[in-house]
């Protein structure tokens, strides 16, 4: 569907692909639209909801400046999916051993590998890119415990919150592995460091912004270039993290399933990141805060919640959305509210048929805390087309 609501309370309009939004989201979007360096307009995806720094589900084109808090602290967070040669009828009746095997192989939550799980050549390459960043910003090393060991050992680990690993079945009964994670502790540290640095660098000008989280670096300044270098490194880290997790998950489930191979149909996409792109006649820094790239013919992943369907999609190249689409279902309530409203019994009912945790520790991720994924997909029918519909049968949460 086309744009359903346009907010005109700033220097540029905000074009929103849903009529399901709250006042906090509108306030955040309105604040963004007041900044002088926004190009053309801001697009808000159907899963839009209030976030920290900027609205989740927003696509923000900037000229001559960049807002670290709009990119956020889970830099490069995104999705990876691969189709296997297995059919649903080849899966065992009980998938508990499969879930246990994944959880034993891939650290979740705050955990990391005891030893580096990736090749030494990969670590060497990543370390070479990180060194000049650390040399200029030594304060980063104080933000992560055992900094130089931790980032390496977290490669190939899940994290917590809404990150997950799933085994899914599509409309043709093909089995998929799908996972969601980002740049772990090092990405979080880079995000927090440069958000704080932007606020300090603005000095007295910070008080003239609609919100302090909209502090920015101007292009051509030292910190602008340093941030671009650091955020690029973190996005690469996130891609490698998902790639290594996919490798570990594949090896973990092999002993518990019939022999299989991974097909060539694999997708790895960010949904919290910044990229240099051309839109509406200008080169811009395009920040996708909870949104994925959806250029014409481009494959992407839009997950539902831990009890709902997910989708492999193909972009339609809609320029009004800056060739973007939603990154998921989008929350309708905070984690704290979900914990008050639902309990473990509710979670068990809403995840019936899925092999997953059903305890109070993950109640904040209950499907009822998210928007209806079918409505979200209907609201972006002119942004993407559905290629595959996936339903999880195993879900591993942090």
pLDDT score of 105: 97
Share of the chain above pLDDT 90, in %: 95
Task: Assess whether pLDDT exceeds 90 at residue 54.
Answer: no
Q: Kindly state the average pLDDT of the residues 30-59.
A: 95
In the chain, what are the domain boundaries?
5-332+370-397
- Alpha carbon distance 228, 55 (integer Å): 21
- Concatenating the DSSP letter of every residue in 119-188 gives -HHHHHHHHHHHHHHHHH-GGGGGSSTTHHHHHHHTTT---STT-EEEEEEETTSEEEEEEEE--HHHHH
Q: Kindly state the average pLDDT of the residues 295-319.
A: 96
Cα-based distances in Å from 21 to 25, 53, 91, 257: 6, 17, 40, 43
Q: Please indicate if the annotation marks 148 as binding a ligand.
A: no
- 327 assigned to active site: yes
Q: Please indicate if the annotation marks 21 as binding a ligand.
A: no
Q: Kindly state the average pLDDT of the residues 116-120.
A: 93
pLDDT score of 183: 97
Q: Determine which one of 49, 270, 327, 388 is catalytic.
A: 327
Task: Residue 155: count other Cβ atoms within 10 Å of its Cβ.
Answer: 24
Using pLDDT thresholds of 50, 70 and 90, give the confidence band for residue 48: very high
Using pLDDT thresholds of 50, 70 and 90, give the confidence band for residue 271: very high
Structurally, what CATH architecture does the domain formed by 5-332+370-397 represent? Alpha-Beta Complex (3.90)
pLDDT score of 1: 64
| CB neighbour burial string for 82-91, b if at least 16 within 10 angstroms, e if fewer | bbbebeeeeb
Q: Please indicate if the annotation marks 271 as binding a ligand.
A: yes
Q: Please indicate if the annotation marks 114 as binding a ligand.
A: no
- 205-254 pLDDT, tens digit each: 999 999 999 999 999 998 999 999 999 999 999 999 999 999 999 999 99
- 371: nearest Cα among 21, 47, 80: 47
pLDDT score of 53: 77
Q: Please indicate if the annotation marks 381 as binding a ligand.
A: no
Backbone φ, ψ for residue 190 (5° rounding): -60, -45
pLDDT score of 265: 67
Using pLDDT thresholds of 50, 70 and 90, give the confidence band for residue 2: confident
Residue with tokens 């910003």: 137
Task: Assess whether pLDDT exceeds 80 at residue 132.
Answer: yes
On average, the pLDDT of the chain sits at 96
Share of the chain above pLDDT 70, in %: 99
pLDDT score of 134: 97
Backbone φ, ψ for residue 289 (5° rounding): -100, 90
Global pTM reads 0.96
> Helix axis angle, 222-253 relative to 120-136, nearest 10°?
160
Q: Please indicate if the annotation marks 162 as binding a ligand.
A: yes
Q: Please indicate if the annotation marks 391 as binding a ligand.
A: no
- 179-196 pLDDT, tens digit each: 999 999 999 999 999 999
Q: Please indicate if the annotation marks 166 as binding a ligand.
A: yes
DSSP assigned state of 98: H
pLDDT score of 264: 67
Q: Kindly state the average pLDDT of the residues 331-351.
A: 95
């Amino acid at each position: 569907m086309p744009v359903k609501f346009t907010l005109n309370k700033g220097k540029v309009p905000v074009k929103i692909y849903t009529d399901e939004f709250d006042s906090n989201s509108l306030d955040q979007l309105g604040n963004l639209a007041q900044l002088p360096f926004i190009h053309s307009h801001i697009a808000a995806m159907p899963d839009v909801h209030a976030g920290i720094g900027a609205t989740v589900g927003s696509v923000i084109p900037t000229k001559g400046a960049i807002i670290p808090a709009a990119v956020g602290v889970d830099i490069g967070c995104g999705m990876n999916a691969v189709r296997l040669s297995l059919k649903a009828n080849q899966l065992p009746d009980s998938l508990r051993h499969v879930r246990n095997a994944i959880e034993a192989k891939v650290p979740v939550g705050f955990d990391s590998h005891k030893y580096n799980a990736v090749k030494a050549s990969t670590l060497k390459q990543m370390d070479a890119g990180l060194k000049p960043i650390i040399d200029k910003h030594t304060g980063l090393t104080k933000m992560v415990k055992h900094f130089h060991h931790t980032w390496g050992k977290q490669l190939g680990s899940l994290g917590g919150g809404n990150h997950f690993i799933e085994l899914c079945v599509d409309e043709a009964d093909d089995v998929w592995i799908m996972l969601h994670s980002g740049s772990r502790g090092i990405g979080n540290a880079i995000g927090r460091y440069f958000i704080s640095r932007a606020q300090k660098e603005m000095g007295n000008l910070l008080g003239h912004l609609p919100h302090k989280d909209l502090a920015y670096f101007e292009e051509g300044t030292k910190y602008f270039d340093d941030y671009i270098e650091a955020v690029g490194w973190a996005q690469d880290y996130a891609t490698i993290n998902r790639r290594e997790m996919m490798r570990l998950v594949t090896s973990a489930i092999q002993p518990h399933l019939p022999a299989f191979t991974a097909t060539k149909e694999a997708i790895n996409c960010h949904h919290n990141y910044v990229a240099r792109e051309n839109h509406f006649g200008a080169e811009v820094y395009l920040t996708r805060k909870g949104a994925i790239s959806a250029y014409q013919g481009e494959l992407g992943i839009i997950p539902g919640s831990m009890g709902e369907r997910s989708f492999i999609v193909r972009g339609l190249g809609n320029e009004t959305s800056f060739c973007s689409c939603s990154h998921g279902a989008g929350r309708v309530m905070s984690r704290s509210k979900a914990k008050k409203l639902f309990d473990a019994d509710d979670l068990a009912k809403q995840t019936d048929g899925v092999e997953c945790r059903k305890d109070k520790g993950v109640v904040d991720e209950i499907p009822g805390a998210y928007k209806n994924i079918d409505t979200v997909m209907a609201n972006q029918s002119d942004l993407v087309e559905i290629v595959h519909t996936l339903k999880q049968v195993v879900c591993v949460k942090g």
